[in-house]
Amino acid sequence: MKYLHSSKTIGFIFDCIDRELVKLQIIPSNKIFYLRLSELVLTKEYDTDKEYVMKISEGVNLIESRGELSKVSYILLSCINTNRLCTYIATIGEDNDFVLKELDVLCSVIETLSQNSIKCLYKSAEEAIRILGNCFSYSKYGSLVESLFRILRKDNNNSIILNPLAYQPLYKLNSAEEYSYISSIFSQGKIKIGYLYSNPSIIVSLNDDHMLRHIAIVGSTGSGKSTTASIIAEEASKNGYAVIIIDWHGEYKSLLGVLGNVIYTNPYDGSIPEPLNLEELIKTEPLAFIEVIESALELTPAQAHILEDAVNMLAQRKVIGNYSIDLIIDIVKNSSTSSRWFTESREALLRKLKPLSSQYLRIKWNDMKMFPIEKGNIIIFDISQIPNIRIKKVIASLLIRSIVLKAQYNTISKPLLIVVDEAHNVLSSENPVSNLIAEVRKWGVGFIVATQAPSMLAPMVLKNSNTKIIHALKMYSDIETILVSTLIRNEYKKVITSLMPGEALLVIPELSEPLMIKITKFSS
């Protein structure tokens, strides 16, 4: 079976030509080398990894001295798998028979010097390829390709001692046929987000189907999910998408602000996206508006009834004009009845609506400059200065509902991408807006759902996000939620917890296994 592993300028084709012998063909020179690998295992139990390392290090001097005289190179490397520290030794050279015999000789000497406390456990060719890929993931010498090229250079001293640290399995080494299939998938996409860890020559590009069937980006704080979302937003805008970002923490201005097609809006600076003018939503879908308010403010049935009457009265006006919430508050405030239940419910409703008022928020809604959502542009809607989380949720939900309504009636640019930052605060189970994700694709709308707490998202959201980009997660409940929603194996738990910033597992419908990728911003 053949495996391809490459960087931008050089590559290796790995071929399992014998049970324990790996053939390495350098691309483009086509020079051939052979490799055989064994794990060094202890026959005696030691209390700590430190004792294990000390015992293994007794063989280092032997390898150094023998390497000066031998016509093969040696690799001694240690790496951490999911359970323990492992040390491996390999011989590599141009003569396949000598490579096979030299590892036997070396292992025999090590076993003798260690008084049989160290034994060689020979690995199959396929195991050897996997181990090398895993253990070189964090090598100070670079990737597997770069490290092997350094070892095989003519000026090398024929021995190299490596101690890269990596959690196994970080990524799977695929066969040449599998890489060809993976490459064919990504060749159909134009939204470039990074490259494969196991084969950096393969650029990971998402297509329209990935975008419009929604993308969930999950990861703890600092894992890189906002950077990933910003890269997708930028790439999407380059490829004809209209993009709106609901910026919960005010991060995206610094991530995207230098681009010429970015429009920054903030109600405290006097600007908002045009769909936040709620007149169209109230006139055409008043029940949708009421549902959002009722859910976010946790209204009682009586309060919801009073709100519905006020919204219906407002919808009958030919021109609404002013900030809709203020007008609704005025209508509720001026409604009168002799019944006690109505009075109590009205006063409770006014208390709940007050934080949405212009006076409370100190936002001059009537003087807002409104920016339409257009193809090729990115609108950032910064709600980080709004002091109340519940009010943030209301405003974000109303914006989403209004955008979807415009998409449904073809009064907004499409295809359209809605990026929802900290989505667990908005797209929760009790929010009716969460249900929209199951139906908006037919209207040319895709969601990017970015969250540090996937366990708090509505199940409908994860279920309908066909592409998932998984950055590092630490909470058990979040990891379990992702494993269940993606149907990936439990062995990936430790991978998810050990991912570095910018690293991610990519889950797409076309592949049964996740891919380890490095998120990268590509120059224009």
Give the pLDDT confidence of 474-512 residue by residue, as tens digits: 898 999 999 999 888 887 887 898 888 899 999 999 998
The CA distance from 276 to 142, in Å, is 49
Please state the rounded mean pLDDT for residues 94-106: 88
Measured distance CA(233)–CA(255) in Å, rounded? 11
Strands (E), 431-521: 445-451, 467-470, 503-507, 515-519
- For residue 164, the model assigns a pLDDT of 40
The set of residues, in sequence order, having a beta carbon less than 8 Å from that of 301 and lying 6+ positions away, is: none
Do the beta carbons of residue 74 and residue 59 sit within 8 Å?
no
- The helix-helix angle for 144-152 and 125-135 (nearest 10°) equals 100
Cβ(194)–Cβ(174) under 8 Å?
A: no
Query: Coil, strand or helix: which one is 496?
Result: helix
Mean pLDDT of 452-479: 94
User: Which carries the bigger pLDDT value, residue 378 or residue 337?
Assistant: 378
Task: To the nearest 10°, report the CA torsion of 65, 68, 74, 79.
Answer: 50
Question: Which of 470, 382, 389, 473 shows the shortest CA–CA distance to 431?
Answer: 389
pLDDT of 92: 87
Give residue-wise pLDDT tens across range 14-43.
Answer: 888 888 999 988 887 888 989 999 988 777
238 membership: H or E segment, kind and range: helix 225-238
| Chain-centroid distance, C-alpha 14 | 30
Is the torsion defined by CA of 468, 472, 475, 476 positive or negative? positive
Q: Name beta bridge partners: 12.
A: 5, 26
> Could you please report the per-residue DSSP string of 285-323?
-HHHHHHHHHHHHT--HHHHHHHHHHHHHHHTSS---S-
> Given strand 445-451, what is the order of strands in its sheet?
203-206, 191-196, 515-519, 503-507, 467-470, 215-218, 445-451, 416-420, 242-247, 378-382, 262-265
Cα separation, 474 vs 331, in Å, equals 48
pLDDT of the residue at 367: 82
Antiparallel, parallel or unpaired: β 378-382 and 242-247: parallel
Which amino acid does the sequence have at 305?
Answer: H
Distance CA 316, CA 323 (A): 16
Inform me whether the pLDDT recorded for 417 exceeds 50. yes
Q: 3-class SS at 440?
A: helix
pLDDT at 83: 46
Of 147-156, 447-456, 462-471, the range with the lowest mean pLDDT is 147-156
Task: Sketch out the chain's domains with CATH numbers.
Answer: 2-162 (3.30.70.1130), 185-270+368-519 (3.40.50.300), 279-361 (no CATH)
Segment 70-80 shows an average pLDDT of 71
Measure the CA–CA gap between 365 and 301, rounded to whole angstroms.
Answer: 29
Encoding tokens for residue 459? 């199940």
CB-based contacts of 112, cutoff 8 Å, min separation 6:
none
Reduced to 3 states (helix: H, G, I; strand: E, B; else coil), residue 237 is helix
Nearest CA-CA partner of 450 in 251, 157, 194, 273: 251
Confidence of residue 461 (pLDDT cuts 50, 70, 90): very high
Chain segment 314-367, per-residue pLDDT in tens: 888 876 666 788 889 999 988 877 688 888 899 999 999 999 888 888 888 778
**369 neighbors 266 (Cβ within 8 angstroms):** no
Instruction: Give 176-209 pLDDT, tens digit per residue.
Output: 788 889 999 999 999 999 999 878 889 999 999 9
**DSSP label at residue 512:** S
The alpha helices in 252-298, defined as continuous H runs, are 252-256, 279-284, 286-297
By the 10 Å C-beta count (0-12 exposed, 13-18 middle, 19+ buried), 157 is classed as exposed
By three-state DSSP, how is residue 379 classified?
strand
Average pLDDT over residues 388-415: 92
